[in-house]
Each structure stands twice: as C-alpha cells, then as structure tokens.
Amino acid sequence: MSTIEKVSILGAETIHVGYGIQDHIVEVVINTKASSTYVIITDTNMGRTEPFSKLTQLFASKLKELRPESRLLQYQVSPGENNKSRETKAAVEDYLLQQGCTRDTVILAVGGGVIGDMIGFVAATFMRGVRYVQVPTTLLSMVDSSVGGKTAIDTPLGKNFVGAFYQPEYVFADVSFLKTLPTRQFINGMAEVVKTAAIWNEEEFTRLENFSKKFLEVVTAKVPDIESIKHELVKTVLESIRVKAEVVSSDEKETGLRNLLNFGHTIGHAIEAVLTPEALHGECVSVGMIKEAELARYLGILSQVAVARLSKCLVAYGLPVTIDDKEFLKKVGNKRHYVQLDTLLKKMAIDKKNDGSKIRCVLLESIGRCYQLKAHQISKQDLGFVLTDEVLVHPFKDQSLKSSTVIIPPGSKSISNRALILASLGKGTVRIKNLLHSDDTKHMLDAVTALGGAKITTEDNGETIVVEGNGGNFIATNEQLYLGNAGTASRFLTSVATLVKPNKNSLDDVILTGNARMQQRPIGPLVDALRANGSQVQYLNNEGSLPLVIKAGSGLKGGRIELAATISSQYVSSILMCAPYAEEEVTLKLVGGKPISVLYIDMTIAMMKSFGIEVKQSLTEEYTYIIPKGTYQNPQEYVIESDASSATYPLAFAALTGTSCTVPNIGSSSLQGDARFAVDVLKPMGCIVEQSATSTTVTGPPLGHLKPLPHVDMEPMTDAFLTASVVAAVAYDGKNSTAITGIANQRVKECDRIAAMVNELAKFGVKAHELPDGIEIQGVKLEQLVNPSTEKRGIKSYDDHRVAMSFSLLAGLCNQPVLIQERSCTGKTWPGWWDTLHSQFNIQLDGYELPFDADDSSLLIDKHANGDKSIIVIGMRAAGKSTLSKWMATFLGFKFLDLDDVFEQRVGTDIRTFIKQYGWEEFRSKEAAIAKEIFTEKSRGYVISTGGGIVEGEDARNTLKDYTKQGGIVLHLHRDLDETVVFLSADTTRPAYVNEIKDVWIRRENWYHECSNYHFYSSHCDNELEFKHLRNSFISYIKTITGLQVSELSRKRSAAVSLTFKDLNDVAEHLEEIAVGSEAIELRVDSLNKYSKTFVADQTATLRKYVNLPIIYTIRTESQGGLFPDHEVEQLEELLLLGIKLGVEYLDLQSNYPNSLIEKILERKAFTRIIISHYDNTGVLKWTNVEWKNKYNQAVSYGADIVKLVGTATSFQDNLDLEVFRSAANLKPLIAINRGEQGKLSRVLNTVFTPVTHDLIPKQSTNGSSGLLSINQINKAYAEIGGFTQKKFWIVGKPVDHSRSPNLHNAGYKKLNIPYTFDRFETDDASLAVKKLIHEDKNFGGLAVTMPLKLDIIKHVDELSEAAQLIGAVNTVIRSSNDPNKLYGDNTDWVGITTSFARHGVPNIENSNVNGLVVGGGGTSRAAVYALHDMGCKIIYMINRTSSKIREIKESFPADYNIQILETIEQVEAAASVSLVVSCVPADKPVDETLLNKLERFLYHGSTTKNGGFTPTLIEAAYKPRLTPVMRIAHEKYQWSVIPGVEMLVNQGERQFQLHTGFTPPYRVIHDAVVAE
Ligand SMILES: NC(=O)c1ccc[n+]([C@@H]2O[C@H](COP(=O)([O-])OP(=O)(O)OC[C@H]3O[C@@H](n4cnc5c(N)ncnc54)[C@H](O)[C@@H]3O)[C@@H](O)[C@H]2O)c1
Ligand SMILES: [Zn+2]
C-alpha cells in the first residue's frame, strides 16, 4: 500500500489522500464505523470502472471476515448533473427504506461532486441523519466538493438551492480513481486547483506552473498514463485540500474567510447558469477568475503581470480564459449570445453567495494573496466594464482631473527581447524589471532554459525576472526548441544556436521549429551569413524557413561577415549580439545599400554596451561594425525602458487636457524612434515639454489652445501618427490644418490605419483625408467636436490597439460618453490601458453591450447561406454538368462558366490539340493552375463547371478542397455509370476512351467524394416529363444546400412514413401512394441491401423523383433495433456525411453514436435539420425514470432540432406515463412513442412526424417494427377517441350542383380517414350562408366559395390574406388561427395556376427573363396576374376583347407587377416574347377573331425563342371541354405545352384542402376524384 497523507479538518484527521488505497479505505471504515448495513452508492459510469470494482470486492470480502453479521448493499444512479435532483434523491431514499436501512447505516458515496453532494444530503436527512463517507472520484470532487461538508441538490430554479452543511465521517481521496476520468473532467478539476493556489499559496502556484506541461501531455494522451504522474497528482490534490481544510476549519459555515474560496465564482457561476450543461463548472470558473482578476486590476489592486500569469497558467492546463475561446465556443455552440451583461448581472444578484442584490467578489492582490480576507462589494458599473468588450468613455472635463500624473507604460518589446538574449549570454545575475511579456519573451525564456544557458527565476510576484547567466555556455538538448510564431525569438535564437556545444551524450544537434505560419516566414539571409561563416545550418522542410537543424560545436568562426541588411534589422542584431563569442574578432559588413531601421541596430549596440561590450563603427567602410571578443557582464539590475509608442498616449492625454504627465523612464537618450514624439510633435503644437536623458514630462496648453502643425514628417515614429492625429483633431488656429507624411507603411498594419483614422475622425465631425504617404487633418474647435452616435455603434477599433487607444483620448473631449468598440484589442501592447485611464487618470468608464442583432442570421442558423459565392461543379463527363450547371445558374441568377472553355481561350488551341502537343501531364498542371486562378477571380456570382478529369491532379484536388474549407460549395454531379457509358458511346466525337470509362470511374470515384462537399445524383429519365421533374428536384436541392429554403419546423400533427425497402427502385411506382398523408418520408438507409455511396445516392434520387416531401435520412443500428452493424463506425460516418452532401432535409443521429461522430456531423450539417434519437428496446426504462429527461435534455443541448425518444411498452400504463412526459417536454419538438403492441396508443397521440407504415411496406423488414400503424389507422383511432372533432365544410354559391369540390374533398377525407364532410349549399346570399353554416353550427370547418359570392363574402370575414386582397376575391373561408371567433378569407385560385405550371415542369423563373400573358378580363384573370407575378414574370401582358376591364385590373395591382395592356396588333408585334400564357376566356363559345389573332402571335414568338430554357406552356382556366380550341391551337400549331383547366381545379383544391384541414391531401386521389367524373 502506498503512503497515506492525512489532513485534519475541524479538528479531526478525517481526510486521507493517497494512490491506490482501497485496502486502507475498507479497513478504516469497517474497523472504525461499526454498522449493520453499509451501502455503497455510485453512478453507473463509475460503477463500470476497475478501481471501483476493486473497492467493492475488497469491501465485501473484508466485511465477511470482520463483521459477518453485517450486510453490504449497492445502489447506482444515472450520472450527470441532471440527476442531482429531488427525484433521484427520493429514489435513493426509497431504496434505503425498502431495504430496511436504519439509523446505524453507513453510506459510502463513491463518485464525483454530483454523487457527493446528493448522497451527502440524503445522509443528512435520512432518519434525521446517518453517517457517511465520501470517496471522491473526480479531481474536482477530491479538491473541492468533498471537503467542507456542503451538500445539496438542484431544483429547476437553481443549482444547489436545497441542501445542508453535513460533515462526512471520512473523505478518502484515492488518486488512482482518476485513471478512468475523461480528459475534459480532469482539466475541469484543475480550475479549482489553480484557484486555491492563486488565493493562498504562491509557492504551490509556481509548482503548478511547472507541472502544467507534463499534466496536459498525460491527460490528453490517447491512453493517459496517470500512474506516471501520480506523485505530482497526489501532491496537487493534497495541497489543494490542505488549503481548503484550513479555511473551512476556521469558518465552517461560510461567514468570512471561506468566501475566499469563491474567487472566480461570482462571475463564473453566472456564466455557468447560462451555459449549463454544455459548459462545465471549472471551465466557467476559469473564465470567471480572469474576469475577476481583471476587475482587481481595473480597481488598481492587482498588477498586469499577475493577471497575465494567472491567465497563462490556466491556459497551460487547457482551460478557457475567455468565453470566446475557440474550443470552448465549440462546446457551448450557439448559446454564446445568451451571455449578455444583463443576464449575468441578474444571475449574480440571485446567487446565494451574494446577499440581497449586492454583488461581491474576491479580489486578488497578488498571486497567492487576496486583498483583505473577505469578499468585496462591487458596483454594477465596474462589473459592467470588465464583462463587456465595449466601453463608454465619459467626458474628461466632468471628472476631477489630477494636475499631474506619473505613468510607466509597459516595457518596450524590442528592448525586452534584446535584454533577455544579452542577459542569457552574459555572466552573473541580473534582475530585469518592466519586461514586456509577449510570445517572443516567453519562447526565448523557454529556449535559453532548455539549452542550459541561464537559470531563470522570478521575484516580486513575477514582476522581476532574475537571469543567472552562464557566460554563453549552451549545451545541446534533445528537446526541439519550439518558438510558435514568435519572429524575433526565431531570429535571435538562430545565431545563439550556433554557439551551442554538444552535450555529454554526444548529442550535437539543435533543432529550432515553430508553428505552420512560422515555417513559412523567411530566415534565409541570416542562415546564409552564418553558413558563410562556417556554421552548419540545415533546413528540415522548406528551404529558407524554420525548422532548422544547427550542428552544435560548429560555432561562429568570426572574422569578416557580410549580411544583406535591407530586409530585416533583426538579422543584424542577431549576429551583433552573438559576435563577441566568435573565435575571432568579427567585422560585420552590411551590404546591399542603406540598411533598414538603423535605429534598431543602434539600439542593439547601445544595449550591448550596457552589458559590457563596446562595438566600434568602421571609420573607413560604410555600414561596417567591429565587435571585439569578450563575455558580457550582467549588470545587477536592468530596467527595461517603457515602450515609447505606448508612452505617446498618456503624454497626449496631458496635451489634450491641459494637465501634466511624466513618463519617468523615456528621455532624450532613448533609442526608440517614438521617443521623439513629445519634442517633435507635441511641443510645436503648443505643449511645454521637459525632457532629460531618461525622462519626459509634457504639460498641455489651456483647453482649446493646441496649434495645428502644417507639416510633420513622422517617418522616424510612424506608430505615433495615430496619437498625433487625435491631437491634431482639436488643434485649431482658424487657418492651418495638420499634414502628417512619411507613414505609408501604416496602411498595412493591423488595419489600413490611415483610412481608419479618416473614417473614425469623421464621426467626431473632423474632416481628414488621405495623402499619398500620409494624412491631412482639419482640426476643429473643441466645442465643434461632434459626439459619435452610440446607436450607430460609436467608434470602431478595427481590432487595432493603436486605433482604440488614440480614440479613447479624443472620446473624452466630447460632451457625451463615447462608445469604443472592441476595447480588449489594446491587450496586444497595453492590456492595462483602460485601467490606467480609470485608476490613474480618474476617468469614468462604463461597460457597454452592443444590442443583440437578431438580423444577424449567423446567430440563428449555424451556417450562412451561400449568398453569391460561386459554385463549382465536378463530375464525370456526360454526368450532365453543363445542363444542370446552366439550370442552376439561371435559377440563382449567376453566370455560367465552363473551365474547359477558359482553358482553350487561354492557351489558344483546343484541349485535344494541346494534349497531343504537350502531353497529359502538362495539361493537368495547366488546368489546375487555371482552376486556382478562376476560383479566386470569379469567386462570386458564377457557376463554374469543370472538366471531368480535374480531380486527377493533386494540385487541383487541393484547390477544390480549399474551396470547400473556405465554406464554398463544390458540387459533385453524379449519374448512373451505365447511362454514362451509353451516352458516351453514342457520341463519336469524343476521344475513344469509352471502354475505359468504368476504370476511369473506379479511379476517380473517391477523389470526387473527397473534393466535394455536396453530391447530387441525377436519376434516369425516360421521357420529357421525367426530365422536367429532374429539373424541379435539382432546383429544390440547390435551394436546400444554398440555404435559400430551410425546411420549416412545425409542431402540428404530422406523420412520416418509414421506408424500409431494400431497393426503392423495386417499388418506385408505388412511392407516391405510400407517401399519402405523410409530411415527410423516412429513408431507412440501414435497411437498403447495399451501403455503397452510389447506391444510397441513387435511392435518394429515386425518392425525390416520385415524392416531393422532405427526406428524413436514418441509419438505425442493430442495438437500436435497426439493421446497421454497430461496429462499422467508419462506414456510418461516411454515410451520415453523405446524407448531408445529398442535402437531405432531416438527419437522424442516435444519441449512442460516439460523441466525436455526433459533433462532427453537427459541425458539418449546414442546412440539414438534426433529429437526435434514443431507443430503449428493453422496456425496462419507464417514462417516469429521469433518464428519459436526461436523454431529452442532452439531445437539446447537443443542438437537436427535433428529439426522438422511443421506449417499449410492456403495459398500457406506459402510454399514459409517456403523455405526462410529453406534456412537460417543450423545449424542442418531440417524437415520442412506445414500441410494441401495447404501445399503439402512443403512436396515435404523438404529434410531430409520427412514424407510420403502409400496406405496401413489408411488415417484417426490420425488427422492432411491432406496433407500427398506418396513417389511416392512426387517424381512425384518433377520431374514435375524440381527437378529431367532426367538422363540416361547404361549397357555397349558385349554381353549385355541378361543382366537383365535394368529390375532391370527400375523397381526400376518406383516404386519410378523417371524420369530416363536405356538402353543397346553394345560395346567392352571402349573409344567409354565413348565418346558417357558420354562426349556427359549431362544427363549421370551412367554406369553398364560388360565383357569385367571391366578392360578397369579403365583408363577412375579419382577416384577408395578401393574395385575397390583391385579387379582390375570396374563395376559401376558415376560422382564424389567432381567434376562432373570427373568420379568415383566402384565395387559392392563383395557387392552382402556379402549381399546375410547376407540375408540368416549368422551372423557377425568378432570375430569368420570362414574361407572361393573360388572356381575358374576368375574375380568373386577376388570379392569373397574381400567379404570374408570384412566379417571377418580368412583364405581364394582358389582352382581351375589350380593354376597359383589363385596365381596371392593371390599376388595382401595384406598379411593380409591370402589367402592360396591348390593344392593337402593332403593339402585340412590338411586345417581347412570352413563355407562359393563362387563358381565361370562356371555352364554350368560339374565341373572338382578333383576340385569337393576337394570341397566336404570342404563341408563334414564344415557340421560336424558348425564353427561359423550357417549352413554353399555356394553361387553360376553363375545365370543359378537356381539350379547348385554344389548347388545340397552342399545342398542334405552335408545339406549346398545354395544361387542361381541370388540373388547375385540382391544384387549387389541394391548397384549399390544406387550409381547411391542416393536412396535405393525397394528390392522386383528389385528382382522380375530380377527373373521373
Ligand atoms: N459541495 C461542494 O462544496 C461543491 C463544490 C464544488 C462543486 N460541487 C458540485 O459538484 C458537482 C460537479 O462535480 P463533478 O465535476 O465531480 O461532476 P460529476 O459528479 O458529474 O462527474 C463528472 C462525470 O465524470 C464521471 N466520473 C466521475 N468519476 C469518474 C471516474 N473516476 N472515472 C470515469 N468517470 C467518472 C461521472 O459519472 C460524471 O459523468 C456539481 O454539482 C457541483 O455543484 C460541490
Ligand atoms: Zn467551484
């Protein structure tokens, strides 16, 4: 047994810590806590683990041995916070009672905090309190929840709201239990560990900083080897427990000291309350700690270094430090926008740790120490500031400004970097102060430590870095030196690495490497110079970039070194600093002209002098330096000069406010260019500047007396131009403006700074304009300064620290508070800027939150619609790329581009000739290059069709993949291979590779899949009509994948028929019939007889061809009652992704799929809706069990659009329980049913997408289908039990005895088995109909209204649809959905027209130039105009026998309908051609000659132009006779496609049926009922 450490709490040593101490636990409990009954309670996760089994087995055998008379009981509850509930507590208590447990019972709670808290609470109240022992098994519970005796359960209104203080007999923290703890839980626990050290124990904090790397390595490994860090872990747990026990002992009931443990929790809890359960406690506390630390910094209590240190440590343990952390966001997904300031403040106010509405936080004073030993009351204003990223700067003049201030801005970055290198090359100990902590310094510190060059420690809580230099003796290490993206570090260390000596194990390489970006940054000129000087340096990957291998011991020879210094002065500094250690004295000559940034070279030389080495400049040669041999002698102390660019802000503050400000460590001797700002800019503008060698003081003139600077060249201090600009904005003398030049480089910084200044200055009413290399600013009088509007979102920072800091100054000169966005961007160089403004300059700042922008669709849907981004089409030759691409281009209003054409244009010959001349390889590489160019050049508004072989080349494949990665659509068009072969064989003009097509396909198939993110399979078309259907289904597919159409989620009753066929092609002709009554159709992919991608794609195409319903794509695995093998996870993933590529409307994901799989699918899902399902086949899980609630909540938190839960009924009661469950689950639409014969009722009562079957679907095709009902059976049963009330529908008008509406509707009711009736009511009196049918009959369902009542009825309805208003007639009346006492009138005649056109293959014409014609001037003509406009006709022509009526129609429609009335034949001749005609003239008498003449001209032109790419189509409004004279002429004489009037009747009836009943009618059935007559 390993050693056991005991910690005492409240006076007793009851906390025992160790590794693998199960024996000890068992012995101590049994020996010291005598009882008749021991109960071990855990959760089912823990119950499965090895350390747990070991514990229970040992317990059982020991008990038998020591107390044979006692019994051991075991109970397991479901895991998770959801179960920390009253229900579960009750279940545990019931169990204990049933088992006859009495007051002497001892309970062992083995598990995480959930188990500890809840079982602790059970123990506290069971029999008024029984003894209990905690065995925490998560890191969090070991270090936190198990210590201190707080127990609790959650209620729906809040976490931990009900509980008690109740101390356990013992706490056994056995670290070996952590072996099975999931990584995320492990990391979660570290938040509390870091917290405890941060408030109490700096030494432990330092140890934790050093342990982080190893910790993260181990816990994130595929198979974590916890044993390998057991000592560190035990220590970690122990130290944390010690602190907590100490604090608790002095303050058990949390009245004072114990509050300190809540550091990070005030804000953390509020965040957790919003983001639970997606975010874990520790993660939220981690973010909370940083926010609370920033609060302390803001209040002037905590230093920036300490905040940075805390943040760095948390990050090193894999914890988030901001809500916008990428990994963290992935977990909380679209809940991010719930985290709003108001919400957080409310949550904080009700946190029970806060009393009343006062919010308290623990303030850190330094790492390891709190500011006073209590929590402090914090103002909402201060909290608001730290919790938001927008800031309102209040007017400076309202505040009590100090007349003088001393500010030390953060250290200079360049000086910090140099100081570190020199100190580690030097001999002796130096204390470096005011170091700027950046990536560069961090990587340099790590690297010199790894090379043994220096010992580095910190003092003053991290404020001082102590470097103990080793005189330049570096020893090779087998650790690669990783430098991230730290540019300066990589350059400085490359030269340093040449000084490294081999180590004793004759290891003689030093490897410098960095991240991907770093591996592209140049370092060539430096390496060349070093190589030329005898150093052995090699590139590992890319020539000219890191990683580098540097041979240790090869040294620097010295002598004359030449270096091109026109690229980077850092190369020069790098060699200069190492030069004293060369074998011979170095003469460094900079070649290639004037070196850039000479100031930085001077800075290096000056600093070398401070470290004891004096460089001489050659007197004879230009740009040549002589560096003597020697060793740097570290000074005792080196204070890093503050950053001179940063210093411009406080100095400008003084200038603008008429106060004084001193920066005590920058003066005239400074080598930083920006140090001249005060003298060269502020002084001539009217400030008093006093500068010594090392200090600068600026005093501003009285308010309003700054003078413009007609011209200043800021080339030596470009970064300071922004500060100068805001000062110039209020420098006014009535004549001059300020022109700043020499700053062209500022256009390519974090943003185009010149443009940014011009834009934002304008918001203050200050005119400025760009100069070729600068900016000119027209200063204004102070009182003319305009307040930038907060509503218009104030001032933008462009994520640029300098923009933000500059404008924070100008903001204060306004009369009103000014909003500055993204304030945290100042973190790049001065994270504490705002704190300085607040606590040193006394400026009032407020947090501000931009209003949540509900129009920002990215917050509502997970993926942006494609917009006008170009779409790339790939696929085999003859797959229909050109045709379908053109359809798509027409529909989207994009241009079509064929890449092959582009190729031929560019090379000037056709492809075949090109290949003959240059060969395939050249062709492919040229093709790839052109593709790459075109995809960028034509990235918007194009459909780009590619050559079939484009996927053959790797470059082209990468280009395609990159396109998808950037969110673009690459669509793979796929057609049956046999058809392709037939097609190509028939085409003799193509090269003769026909025989090899199959091989080609086999070779390319995977490439096509790999390179595309969408996939459309064109099904085989036998005839023209099928071809039209293909077009419709393709366009509908395009709408789905581009996000133009997102399937609507409705909660009304609907059914989804489940197709469990092996191959849909076998039943293709029955599919329409099978789908009758369903609102969606489920494709059970698992029941297909092949799982190949091609086959599955073909199945969806078949389905789409025959049924126009959303597809639910389901792969049910064997364990959930389906046919798909559970272990084929890879294939499962492929097929699920295929579903998304195929653009299915719904995808079913089983909750038992691996997490990573679910997450991946959710990430890729685009516009497909997700159903998350869970099946229980055992029947063991009753609906009263909280487990179902967990499953539901879990699915919701994953982001399911619909949740599907399927239980198994073993008794009728199961259905009733299910209904109770259903009524409580209303977060997301729920499909919940019971399988089994006894579960049928649940299918009848389910609302959304009830799974149904059909007589034509084989019964036994899958197991688990028992209890399935057809839609007819369900509706019948639902009616029988009173679910549907009887409803009556009528056709009213006169005459109505020939109306076919009753046939149509009644046939539909019958087919669907709904208990409605539809009758005739003949009258020409609208009031009578309303009185009799509606007012006097409570069963009234709806009216179909015909002549002559379509207008009269309007005055009786309360609401009108837009169509009814514009058409000016009502043909359908129902009760209003808002208020059943009101009536709603609609007109469905126009739908009859649009649907008929669509069913006849007229494509969507919204973006093409198609015109329409309406013949006639009656009521139907009005509907026709509405219909043609709705379809997208650009011009609607109207002709009639007489014009007066159509004039009236034209008048009554909006002008954008573009109705044109043609009266003369000449006008008709001059008109554009039309492709759609609606004929609304009576068909029972001959058509007027002249009218017919006009019509025929349209018919003639229409058939010759074929505008819109489809056969022009005419619809006849009259439905008798079936073939009217107009139809005959149109079809026979002009080859128009014609639609008989009866179709229109059926199609309008279909919509009417829907409005009346809420159900989609069976189309075929109602159609036949009308036509059959
Ligand atoms: N009483 C207190 O002072 C106090 C303090 C902090 C937190 N808490 C409470 O603690 C709870 C959180 O505790 P937690 O973080 O331990 O969560 P938890 O108990 O839910 O455990 C996390 C997950 O890990 C599983 N698990 C636990 N031990 C495991 C192991 N060794 N191997 C594999 N899986 C294991 C659990 O089944 C669970 O799924 C919260 O309810 C919180 O309110 C209480
Ligand atoms: Zn906590």
Closest ligand 1 atom to Cα of 79: 37
User: How confident is the model over 1419-1463, as pLDDT tens digits?
Assistant: 899 999 999 999 889 899 999 988 888 898 999 898 888 999 998
Which of 185, 247, 248, 265 best tests ligand 1's pocket when mutated (most atoms within 8 Å of CB)? 185
Closest ligand 1 atom to Cα of 84: 41
Q: How far is CA 1535 from CA 855, 1025, 1504, 1515, in A?
A: 48, 15, 10, 14
* Helix pair angle (281-298, 304-316), 10° resolution: 170
Bridge partners for 713 per DSSP: 741
Q: Of 1388, 1361, 1384, whose CA–CA distance to 1305 is shortest?
A: 1388
Residue 1373's identity, in one-letter code, is V
Tokens of 334: 């679209």
Distance 1250 CA to ligand 2 centre (A): 44
Distance 502 CA to ligand 1 centre (A): 49
Which residues, 6 or more positions from 1377, have their beta carbon under 8 angstroms from its beta carbon? 1384
- How many CB atoms neighbour CB 759 within 10 A? 15
Residue 101: active-site member = no
SS3 730: coil
How far apart CA 57 and CA 22 sit, in angstroms, is 10
How far apart CA 172 and CA 135 sit, in angstroms, is 5
Which of 9, 22, 114 best tests ligand 1's pocket when mutated (most atoms within 8 Å of CB)? 114
Write down the pLDDT at residue 921: 85
φ and ψ at residue 359, rounded to 5 degrees = -105, 130
Closest ligand 1 atom to Cα of 43: 37
Which residues, 6 or more positions from 621, have their beta carbon under 8 angstroms from its beta carbon? 589
Distance 277 CA to ligand 2 centre (A): 15
Q: Whose CA is nearest to atom 4 of ligand 1?
A: 145
- Kindly identify the ligand whose nearest atom is closest to the C-alpha of 145: 1
How far apart CA 700 and CA 658 sit, in angstroms, is 4
How far apart CA 580 and CA 871 sit, in angstroms, is 60
Could you tell me whether strands 845-848 and 871-874 are parallel, antiparallel, or unpaired per DSSP bridges? Answer: unpaired
- Kindly identify the ligand whose nearest atom is closest to the C-alpha of 148: 1
- Kindly identify the ligand whose nearest atom is closest to the C-alpha of 194: 2
User: How confident is the model over 728-773, as pLDDT tens digits?
Assistant: 999 999 899 999 998 887 877 777 899 899 999 999 999 999 898 8
DSSP 1568: H
φ and ψ at residue 200, rounded to 5 degrees = -135, -25
Distance 181 CA to ligand 1 centre (A): 10
Which regions of 1418-1536 does DSSP assign to beta strands (E)?
Answer: 1436-1439, 1459-1461, 1476-1479, 1513-1516
How far apart CA 308 and CA 435 sit, in angstroms, is 13
**Omega of the bond leading into 136 within 30 degrees of 0 (cis):** no
- Kindly identify the ligand whose nearest atom is closest to the C-alpha of 196: 2
SS3 739: strand
How far apart CA 481 and CA 148 sit, in angstroms, is 44
Q: Whose CA is nearest to atom 13 of ligand 1?
A: 113
Distance 192 CA to ligand 2 centre (A): 6
> Do 354 and 320 meet the contact criterion of CB atoms below 8 Å apart?
no
Q: How far is CA 268 from CA 185, 262, 977, 1180, in A?
A: 17, 9, 59, 39
Distance 883 CA to ligand 1 centre (A): 59
How far apart CA 1174 and CA 1135 sit, in angstroms, is 19
Which of 54, 83, 145, 319 best tests ligand 1's pocket when mutated (most atoms within 8 Å of CB)? 145
Residue 254: active-site member = yes
How far apart CA 1202 and CA 1145 sit, in angstroms, is 12
Tokens of 829: 């160089």
Which regions of 1335-1428 does DSSP assign to beta strands (E)?
Answer: 1340-1345, 1359-1360, 1372-1375, 1383-1386, 1412-1415
Q: Which of 825, 1011, 1433, 1480 is catalytic?
A: 825
Q: Of 370, 517, 219, 1406, whose CA–CA distance to 889 is shortest?
A: 1406
Q: Whose CA is nearest to atom 34 of ligand 1?
A: 181
Q: Whose CA is nearest to atom 29 of ligand 1?
A: 181
Closest ligand 1 atom to Cα of 80: 20
Residue written as tokens 């080495």?
A: 613
How far apart CA 855 and CA 836 sit, in angstroms, is 37
Q: How many helices, marked H, and strands, marked E, lie in the chain?
A: 55, 59
How far apart CA 1029 and CA 340 sit, in angstroms, is 48
Tokens of 917: 């001349």
- Kindly identify the ligand whose nearest atom is closest to the C-alpha of 286: 2
Element at 1341 (helix H, strand E): strand 1340-1345
Q: Whose CA is nearest to atom 5 of ligand 1?
A: 145
Residue 1204: active-site member = yes
CB-based pocket (< 6 A), ligand 1:
43, 45-46, 49, 79-81, 84, 111-115, 117, 137-138, 140-141, 144-145, 148, 150, 159-160, 177-178, 180-181, 185, 188, 281
Whether pTM exceeds 0.75: no
Bridge partners for 42 per DSSP: 76
Q: Whose CA is nearest to atom 10 of ligand 1?
A: 113
Residue 367's identity, in one-letter code, is I
Write down the pLDDT at residue 859: 34
Residue 1445: active-site member = no
Distance of CA 1054 to the CA centre of its chain: 31
Please classify residue 804 by burial: count the beta carbons closer than 10 Å to its beta carbon, then call 0-12 exposed, 13-18 middle and 19+ buried: buried
How far apart CA 1505 and CA 1499 sit, in angstroms, is 10
> Do 1148 and 1208 meet the contact criterion of CB atoms below 8 Å apart?
no
∠ Cα 857 863 869 (to 5°): 95
Write down the pLDDT at residue 972: 93
Tokens of 307: 């905040």
Q: Whose CA is nearest to atom 41 of ligand 1?
A: 114
> Do 1423 and 1367 meet the contact criterion of CB atoms below 8 Å apart?
yes
SS3 512: strand
Residue 779's identity, in one-letter code, is G
Q: Which of 5, 87, 232, 254 is catalytic?
A: 254
Distance 321 CA to ligand 1 centre (A): 21
> Do 632 and 580 meet the contact criterion of CB atoms below 8 Å apart?
yes
Residue written as tokens 């078309």?
A: 1021
3-state helix, strand, coil in the chain (%, to 5): 45, 20, 35
Q: Whose CA is nearest to atom 27 of ligand 1?
A: 112
Tell which phi-psi region holds residue 1317, choosing left (phi > 0), alpha (psi between -120 and 50) or beta: beta
Could you tell me whether strands 845-848 and 390-393 are parallel, antiparallel, or unpaired per DSSP bridges? Answer: antiparallel
Distance 1359 CA to ligand 2 centre (A): 56
Up-side HSE of residue 906: CA atoms within 13 Å toward CB?
14
φ and ψ at residue 851, rounded to 5 degrees = -60, 145
Q: Whose CA is nearest to atom 21 of ligand 1?
A: 112
Low-confidence ranges of the chain (pLDDT < 70): 1-2, 252-255, 333-337, 351-357, 398, 506-507, 567, 851-865, 978-995, 1047, 1260-1265, 1506-1508, 1573
- Kindly identify the ligand whose nearest atom is closest to the C-alpha of 263: 2
Q: Which of 159, 195, 972, 1204 is catalytic?
A: 1204
Q: Which of 269, 413, 1105, 1287 is catalytic?
A: 269
Q: Of 1291, 1297, 1315, 1310, whose CA–CA distance to 1373 is shortest?
A: 1291
Q: Whose CA is nearest to atom 19 of ligand 1?
A: 112
Element at 417 (helix H, strand E): helix 413-425
